[in-house]
Amino acid sequence: MLILTGPQGSGNHFFSKIFSNHPEVCGWQDLLDTYWIGHDQEPFADLWSDPHLIPSYDWSHYDYYVTSISCPYRNDGKDAWPKYQEFITGLQRWGICVKLAIIGRDQNVLAFQEQRLRDKVTYTEFLDRLPTLLEYNPIFLSQELTYLYKEDYIKAVGQQLDFPVEFDPVVIQEDANKKYFKPVEANWLDPLIRQASKQ
């Protein structure tokens, strides 16, 4: 099972679509046809809430699974924090190989989005939990690199994870960061850079 996690707003839905698209992967299939769905409808949401349910899930239909959770996430309108260790060790006890991917996004964009949607910046709460997650040898995913390198980046990540991916360009059609940026008219370093470029 591939676990996708990161701060709220870092791209959990974005990467869920990317990694759920391959026919050999059991993931968030409903999200492939809808732009956004609440995390309470993520296929493994019940297992995140109560990792003791992991043995009761039918794991016989696929070889590859993907789940996504933000930290913190919203549960019944309140902030909640993933039970990372309980969830991961529960999967491992059941004989499931766990791979962890930590999602990143520009910290300024994260702060703007979290303040707008949650009335407070919360990515620092994820950073507090990062040392625990690093024990699981994660790879890091980047929205910015996905928009920049597109299919090449996703294929490379799939190879690093040894996880099947099928790239869909529609998922990255609209850069979600673009609305946060505007061109800079001038910067104090510009004349020096232009001068160096002429030499």
Q: Considering the chain, what is the average pLDDT of its residues?
A: 92
Task: State the pLDDT at residue 122.
Answer: 93
Would residue 76 be called left, alpha or beta, if left means φ above 0 and alpha means ψ between -120 and 50 degrees?
Answer: left
Q: Is 110:10 a contact under the CB 8 Å cutoff?
A: yes
Of residues 134 and 187, which shows the higher confidence score?
134
Strand order in 2-7's β-sheet?
A: 25-26, 64-71, 2-7, 99-104, 139-142
pLDDT in tens, 36-52: 888 888 999 999 999 99
pLDDT in tens, 63-111: 999 999 999 988 777 888 999 999 999 999 999 999 999 999 999 999 9
Residue numbers of the domain that contains 69:
2-198
Report the CATH number that the domain containing residue 90 is assigned in CATH. 3.40.50
SS3 123: helix
Q: Quote the tokens at residue 58.
A: 């039918």
Phi then psi for residue 53, to 5 deg, are: -80, -10
The domain total for the chain is 1
Q: pTM of the entire structure?
A: 0.92
Task: State the pLDDT at residue 117.
Answer: 87
pLDDT at 199 over 70: no
